[in-house]
Structure 1
Amino acid sequence: MPAAPARQTVALEAADGALLEYLPDPLIMFPGARLTSVLEIEAAEGATVIACESFAHHDPGGEDRRFESFEAEMRIRDEGARLLALERYVLTGDRLAEGASQIARWPAQGSVVVAHRGPARDVILAALRSALTPTDDFYGGASALPNEAGVGVRLLARDGAALRRGLEAAWCAVRLALYGAPPARRRK
């Protein structure tokens, strides 16, 4: 991306009673990459949206060159377009360089959001906290979003494989909490 940064926008809309899942694989951030990613969610009061956004650093030349920046913004709105929750962060590849900061330990990162305003929000939160047990390769935490918009999860991992395991653990925990059964395995 020598000329300009890239921008990706995903807009999701879920009507009352809908279950919408948007769970892409982690983005691969190559050396020099500059990406702004925006995730817009509009969910009716009786809808559930499970969405994630994640990335992993990778230098195909094995020289540990870093991406330039990853900027993320996630917005949850109700059916009247009223903003319920907003998350923004910017991370530079230099912050992931060995010894640059504590965050260098976690070159793969992601967020999961469960836009759900129903009474099961506390059950979802408890299930996610139980499912995201930290290990040497993975760390995750869940918290309630403002305005009873749902639950947010932040994931940190040593590599893309550990991140995918964390994303899948979060997804399975939400589906178990809501429906009593895990989702079917996704094919690759």
Structure 2
Amino acid sequence: MASGTGSTEDRSYTERLTRLGGARWKQVLDVQAPYRWNLRRHLGGRTVLDVGCGIGRNLQHLDPSSVGVDHNAESVGLCREAGLRAITTDELESSEEMIPGRFDALLAAHLLEHLPEGAAADVLRPYLRFLAPGARLVFICPQQRGFRSDATHTVYFDDDLLARTMREIGGEVVDQSSFPFPRAAGPWFTYNEFVTVGRLADRR
């Protein structure tokens, strides 16, 4: 399944993320509560490299030592305004935050489905040098309804494709799940997610 038009690099995409995340009904119901719990369950207490951090929706709930990376300078600016550690992809080589082996986890949440077909492993590999041996890897992607909800989505990542991507970057799959509801909810619930957790092989 593939589609995708539009860009995640410009101001309009940042504005869209901000508008969707700030919807009043989402604030009243605290719809992010179960997702925060799941994020902390997998990554709590770890120094995380959040690749494709966007406006910091996940980054704000990770350990304060964590760092977000995004190619959208507007989104990174909002992260910094909120007091989060974030850099653009252009700053990757020059940032003092990026020390080889510093991070003991990598998060790619709602990133892979935006990339060109076949590009996921190549996009992730440059970040591996910043991970400690045995680092935890967490990939999160939308299921069917969520995939169709955004014109910038390009490739549909299910459990099989997520597992393949994990292996392509030298990781081993530890767990795969559907969250917050079972897989059957994917066609009708926009926010049902595939969650793949892995471990980076010790490269020493």
TM-score (norm 2): 0.26
More strand by share: 1
Rg: which structure is higher? 1
TM-score (norm 1): 0.27
